[in-house]
Chain A
């Protein structure tokens, strides 16, 4: 068998979003000389997703403003973009991917940055509702905007009170839409945060005029001319000009599964983001990976994870020996509230909530411990606590919980540690 030189090798990346785009550019940075082909079914130049529910929905900004990379940079870095094209099959024995138009491409290295898609729950009438949108793509936001634009006092019903649903609620309220949020659980953000935070966001949104209804199981959607009625199992119903679904995501793992890769709550990867096939890697929302800091397998939905894993893959493909050990972090912006989270709170047995004197009354942090060990922190308008927590978690630093609880004591690492050594 003849050997291909480095310059003749091809790396194909499926999925051109936070994960895939960063793989492509990081590969060049790491000195990959071969071809790079980046494929996505989305016809738009790759863009940032977080602004979709935030500034982009709010300000109707130019899509150019949220591009991940400037258009000419793909050419400059010799990255071939195939947009509006879907990969329908991977043959890992032959090293070939098949595209939806039937054509095939050969790879030496393959990276799956497939991400996830919104869950569309089995609600009667959901498939035929013409004014119903998810919040995942540029097209979704344009759809929402075009629908409300022609209505004088538009009403939106948002199914799902998670981060994306709530950010969308905040943005729509700000542009004059009357918003109702229907959440199935008995509190907002039930899957991802504590009752304290849920209560905070409930009050925040209510104060801004959003109608929040928890314990609402949506059972059907009925269309009456241009108005829809969203009906719940308890008999209540809500009228809507636009319906938004934000009930979570489903990993795009079928392509990997059909190719015979190991899949379990996502595409399973090792510490250098390699799948069960040595020539295939995976990054971002679609991966199920081991986090050494918490010593367990996790699936994360965050820009941080997509970007950090992308760097690991680029290093691995260019024959370095990286190991993924980043600390997870996430943010959410709603109204004038900045929520920042670091670490993974699952498994905590102690929670300390700390308020700082602040004119807005909205500056606090929630600290999650497993006994002595700090696992995670959620902060609201309090970047200082966020940064401090990041350092404490990274360094596995022991801090004094009583000092942390004492709101009279300034929040500094010195205070938190010194109290510790005194006692």
Chain B
């Protein structure tokens, strides 16, 4: 099980638990505002953009090349940006904090 905290743009903190699936799926299943997941999780729409809390960056691998490129669609992207449909949930992610970008 991993506990993942989403902080939405209106500063609501939502902590959710899961052991598998993608982080985007977890967010959508729990109606986390700002994570739309319009393409269904195939790295095509960039509507699942989050900023990883700096303290958690080491727990999360680097984005793939395509994810990195797709992030550039969004002016709001920075070094902590991820498309969370590309983040698989595992024990490693336990305790991470993600700021929803929109």
Contact = CB atoms under 8 A, between A and B. Distances in A.
B73 A303 contact: no
Interface in B13-42: 21, 25, 28-31, 36, 38-40, 42
Given A69-B28, A70-B30, A73-B31, A50 B39 contact: yes
Contacts of B29: 70
Given A50-B40, A70-B28, A70-B30, A390 B73 contact: yes
A303 B38 contact: yes
Contacts of A381: 66
A331 B42 CA distance: 10
Interface residues of A, number: 24
B66 A338 contact: yes
A69 B31 contact: yes
Given A70-B28, A73-B31, A76-B31, A51 B40 contact: yes
Interface string A346-387: 000000000000000000000000000000000001011011
A21 to B, nearest CB: 11
Contacts of A48: 40
B44 A331 contact: yes
Chain B interface size band reads: 20 to 34
A386 B31 contact: no
Contact of A387 (B30, B45, B72): B72
B40 A384 contact: no
Contacts of A54: 42
Interface of A: 48, 50-51, 54-55, 65-66, 69-70, 73, 76, 303-304, 307, 331, 333, 338, 340, 381, 383-384, 386-387, 390
28 contacts: A48-B40, A50-B39, A50-B40, A50-B42, A51-B40, A55-B40, A65-B21, A65-B25, A66-B40, A70-B28, A70-B31, A76-B31, A303-B38, A304-B45, A307-B36, A307-B38, A338-B44, A338-B66, A381-B66, A383-B43, A383-B65, A383-B69, A384-B65, A384-B69, A386-B69, A386-B70, A387-B72, A387-B73
A69 B33 CA distance: 12
Which 4 A-B pairs rank lowest in CB-CB distance, beginning with the nearest? A383-B69, A384-B69, A331-B44, A48-B40
A109 B29 CA distance: 29
A66 B21 CA distance: 12
Contact of B42 (A307, A333, A386): A333
Interface string B45-79: 10000000000000000000110011011000000
Given A65-B25, A340-B44, A383 B38 contact: no
A326 to B, nearest CB: 12
Nearest to B47: A307
A128 to B, nearest CB: 35
B31 to A, nearest CB: 5
A54 B31 CA distance: 25
B28 A383 contact: no
A74 B9 CA distance: 22
A381 B70 CA distance: 12
A70 B28 CA distance: 7
Contact of A303 (B31, B39, B72): B39
